[in-house]
Structure 1
Amino acid sequence: MSESAETRLKRLRMRSMRRGIKEMDLILVAFADAELADLGAAEVDLYDRLLGENDHDLYQWVSGQVQTPAPYGPLIARIAARANGIVKPEP
């Protein structure tokens, strides 16, 4: 039995808020709440893969400390745009 789109989005949101480090919980759940429902199927697949990455790597990508691997670049840029105040002070 395959997972419905609605169930998949709920699962991804839950995985976004149940991370290893609190900063990534805050960053990813904010992104999931704001944009997950608007992602296309390929972007949802990519986000699902992204959630399998190590939290410390994700945080470094989002905060710009380390260059993001190519397949995740545009997605990380969207996530980072919502991370003001979490990874850097708000302007």
Structure 2
Amino acid sequence: MTIFSPPAALIPLAPRRRPKGRPGARILVLRPSASGFPPLSASTRDDPDIRRRRIRIRAWRRGMREMDILMGRFVDATIDSLPEAELDDLEALLDAQDDEVFRWLSRAAPVPACYDTPLFRRIAAFHTHEKPLDL
């Protein structure tokens, strides 16, 4: 008869010790924003080219592949012609959760008033087609 012994991965480990430091020393903890990106600095906000490049990267790296395609293609096609006010609306939309925006774009849920902007309607119209696309 063999006695079962759990694999080493299941054996509890000793609790970790806190790193030693100077008494009373403060540790700086950087927390990401809700979108996962650090907030824009004033100098970045002043440079429209950097702002547009940042928006383009955020549009293509959403987290859901479907949202990457929906937002990324729209941004690639229109980012150079968007005025500052619509860039603000676009950044607010990029801060929203992917699953919520996907439901709004697919008309599965109503769009909240704060996101129901002319830009949002242009994004939805950009992806509305009469027939299936021939990719």
**Common topology (TM > 0.5):** yes
Name which of 91, 106, 112 aligns with 1:63. 106
Using the size of structure 1 for normalisation, the TM-score is 0.86
Alignment of 1:36-55 (within 5 A): 36-55=79-98
RMSD over aligned Cα atoms = 2.0
1:72 corresponds in structure 2 to: 115
Does residue 21 (structure 1) correspond to residue 70 (structure 2)? The answer is: no
Runs of 4 or more, structure 1, over 6 Å off, are none
The structural deviation recorded for 1:31 is 0.7
Query: Quick check: which has more Rg, 1 or 2?
Result: 2
In 2, the alpha carbon distance for the partners of 1:75 and 1:57 equals 17
Equivalent residue, structure 2, for 1:9 = 52
Query: In structure 2, what residue type is equivalent to 1:75?
Result: L
Matched-pair identity in %: 36
| 1:79 partner letter | I
For structure 2, the 5+ residue unaligned runs are 1-41
- Larger proportion of helix: 1
- How many correspondences in the alignment? 89
Letter of the aligned partner of 2:124 in structure 1?
Answer: A
TM superposition score normalised by structure 2 = 0.60
**Structure 1: runs of 5+ lacking an equivalent:** none
**Structure with more contact order per residue of length (Cα contacts < 8 Å, sep ≥ 6):** 1
Question: Could you list the per-position Cα deviations for residues 23-80 of structure 1 after superposition, in whole angstroms to 9, with x for gaps in the alignment?
Answer: 0000001110111221111110111111010000010111111111123222221111
